[in-house]
Chains A and B, each alone.
Chain A
Amino acid sequence: MSDMSDSLPINKSQLPRADVDLLSIVRINEEIKMVVAVSFKINIMALNAIFLAKRAGTAALGFGVLSNELRVFSQDLRTCMESLTGLIHGCVNEVSIVLQDIRFSRLLREAAEMSPHYPCQAVMKKRESENYAHARVLASLRMQLKRALEDAFQMVELGGVLAKSAKIEAAYGQSFAPSLAQVSGEFDGIVEEIRGSLESLRRSSFFTGH
């Protein structure tokens, strides 16, 4: 019966991984929820910055352009985070299915090992192919999530450049310079916070495997 127990390589290799995956994906989800909340805050901040630039008039023309760009950035970031959230929900679902596969496969393997008189090969093969199909779906979602995170990271790099440019433009704001500097500094701080979160997500064991 050892050939039957050997016929589920996916489960054997996945056993420690699926538990870790579920934990990782839950943590990723929490981090993304935080980023989504922050990106909403950026949107409001960008709106305030636009009003401030309008009040400053010609003294803050450059700042006005940048604050418009920051508003577009915050909306894009939000859309990006929504897509990440969708992918994460898909991953949670698939990891849960894989965990169930692992349990069922363990019980079927034990049944086969305890029943050398009974041919279980066909059922084990069918189970193996279902396990494989689920593992492939999860692998695909994992890749999509990784790509989406990379895209988000690139977007945040651009946001960082915009925030730093806004800080420079704030210096030309004459009497509005202190207010503009404060707003652009807050932008920069928040963008850095998001960048930090995304960097830690990139290092998650869900992607690195350890």
Chain B
Amino acid sequence: MKTTRTFFQEGDHKWVAIVRDPNKPNYIIDTNEYLVTHGGQGILVDPGGAEIFPAVFSALSTEYDPSALSAVFASHQDPDICSSLALWLEFNPKMHCYVSWLWGSFIPHFGGNEETFVSIPDEGVDIPLAGLMLQAVPAHYLHSSGNFHLYDKVAKVLFSGDVGAALLPPDMDGLYVENFDAHIRHAEGFHRRWMGSNEAKRRWCERVSKLEIDMLCPQHGAIYKGDDVHRFINWFDELQVGIV
């Protein structure tokens, strides 16, 4: 079973990471899911693949009523991001799914109907959550051609999808990056291969450098916090990507 770790809380405004399932088969990539709650409403960020649904559901339901989720946010179209969509919809068929307009007719293959999907335009959009405005921040070509990250300016948290992801060995299973230099070695190959455009990377680095970020939360691996956030952005800015 996965565990939940609340890493931001201010009243009923929370960010909860759903992480690390020791029972997950090794052939399935490990993923982080994030629950954002505010004013009684909840949004699940990159809800995960169908095969890990039981573990994510079980962990999430210890924190929040899954049938009360108002939306899921899908950073892009990959199966480890949102192939569980149909299963979450079983608990709340009226739940929305925010996703790039580019994937609006692709993701319904995972489930949902015309009313389910809220298309995000290329320039991004504000996503309301009981008075809190979350921002869908463009991250196109990093790695998907229609890709968004999610920024919470109140919590100063940036969910960064595959950017910042690291494929960590079993002994590095902490929630946060403890030693940046040791950690980043496990991120380098991933970023070089998966991130397809240096130009897109440059723009992203410029864009997020202007944001106040205390935590940068990737979909795989550990969370960057404090100085490691800008250390990561600088490292990424320097990295040549799109290389096999």
- Is A52 located at the chain interface by the 8 A CB criterion? no
- State in angstroms the CA–CA spacing of A108 and B88 once bound together: 10
Distance to closest chain B CB from A1 (angstroms): 11
Count the B residues whose beta carbon is within 8 Å of the partner chain — how many?
Answer: 18
Count the A residues whose beta carbon is within 8 Å of the partner chain — how many?
Answer: 14
- Is B175 located at the chain interface by the 8 A CB criterion? no
> Is A115 within 8 A of B90, CB to CB?
no
Most buried by B among A108, A117, A126: A108
- Assuming the contacts A118-B66, A123-B91, asked whether A111 and B86 have C-beta atoms less than 8 A apart, the reply is no
- Assuming the contacts A107-B50, A107-B51, A123-B91, asked whether A115 and B86 have C-beta atoms less than 8 A apart, the reply is no
Question: CB within 8 Å of A: which of B40-61?
Answer: 50-51, 53-55, 57-58, 61
Instruction: For A117, give its contact among B54, B61, B67, B90 (CB under 8 Å).
Output: B61
- State in angstroms the CA–CA spacing of A127 and B91 once bound together: 10
Tell me whether chain B's interface is mostly helix, strand or loop, or mixed: helix
> Is B87 within 8 A of A108, CB to CB?
yes
- State in angstroms the CA–CA spacing of A126 and B92 once bound together: 12
- State in angstroms the CA–CA spacing of A147 and B231 once bound together: 71
Question: CB within 8 Å of A: which of B63-81?
Answer: 65-67
- State in angstroms the CA–CA spacing of A113 and B65 once bound together: 16
- Is B62 located at the chain interface by the 8 A CB criterion? yes
Instruction: For B62, give its contact among A113, A117, A123 (CB under 8 Å).
Output: A117
- Is A193 located at the chain interface by the 8 A CB criterion? no
- State in angstroms the CA–CA spacing of A118 and B1 once bound together: 15
Contact with B along A168-206 (1 / 0, CB 8 A): 000000000000000000000000000000000000000
Beyond the given pairs A107-B54, A115-B61, 9 more chain A to chain B contacts, judged by CB atoms under 8 angstroms and listed by A's residue number, are A107-B50, A107-B51, A107-B84, A108-B90, A111-B58, A111-B87, A114-B1, A115-B57, A118-B66
Contact sample, A vs B, 30 pairs, CB 8 Å cutoff: A103-B50, A104-B86, A104-B87, A104-B90, A107-B50, A107-B51, A107-B53, A107-B54, A107-B87, A108-B87, A108-B90, A110-B54, A111-B54, A111-B57, A111-B58, A111-B87, A114-B54, A114-B57, A114-B58, A115-B57, A115-B58, A117-B62, A118-B58, A118-B61, A118-B65, A118-B66, A123-B90, A123-B91, A126-B90, A127-B90
